[in-house]
Amino acid sequence: MGIQVDWQIIEEDELPITTEAPAVKPRDRPRLRWRLIVPLLLAVSLIVASAASALASLYRSRLGQAAEQVNLVAHLEAKAIATNDKISFMALQDAEDDAWRAAQSQHFARLEREGFSEFGWKAMGVAPRPGAISLEPGGARLDVMYHFSIAQPMPAGR
């Protein structure tokens, strides 16, 4: 007993044999995107950089204008203290702030007259020497060099 198979090839069953290669999609589109995106990003970054530079320049010029005015007032205040001219010094203080004016009037030239008596430092009678003036977040800072004699050292050698 054997199995016999009878088969035939029918033209409908045959697959057509082609020698053409399958079609490949062109890859030009992604490159085209990068060609557009890179110059666009460069242009945007150039605009942002120039705007930041313009703002920084404006900020520096405004700060310079304020610094000139602060330097002038600070030098006049230091000169009034050094010459013991309380009237000129008080004229330079904020007229709107009564508490500040009272505190400044009470402590005017205290360092030049007395020194730091609580630390044992006595004033030598030498006029203070004004130094650099700088703008800081809380206002202006004037560096002044004072001359003191140490009558008694601070406790613990400080």
Print pLDDT tens along the chain (158 aa).
Answer: 677 777 766 666 566 666 666 666 655 555 557 778 888 999 999 999 999 999 999 988 888 787 788 788 888 888 887 777 888 888 888 778 888 778 888 877 777 777 777 777 888 877 777 778 777 777 778 787 877 888 666 666 55
Exposed (0-12), middle (13-18) or buried (19+): which is 19, by Cβ within 10 Å? exposed
The DSSP symbol for 21 reads P
Element (H, E) at 99: helix 98-106
pTM: 0.43
How far is 70 from 140, CA to CA, in rounded Å?
Answer: 7
Exposed (0-12), middle (13-18) or buried (19+): which is 81, by Cβ within 10 Å? buried
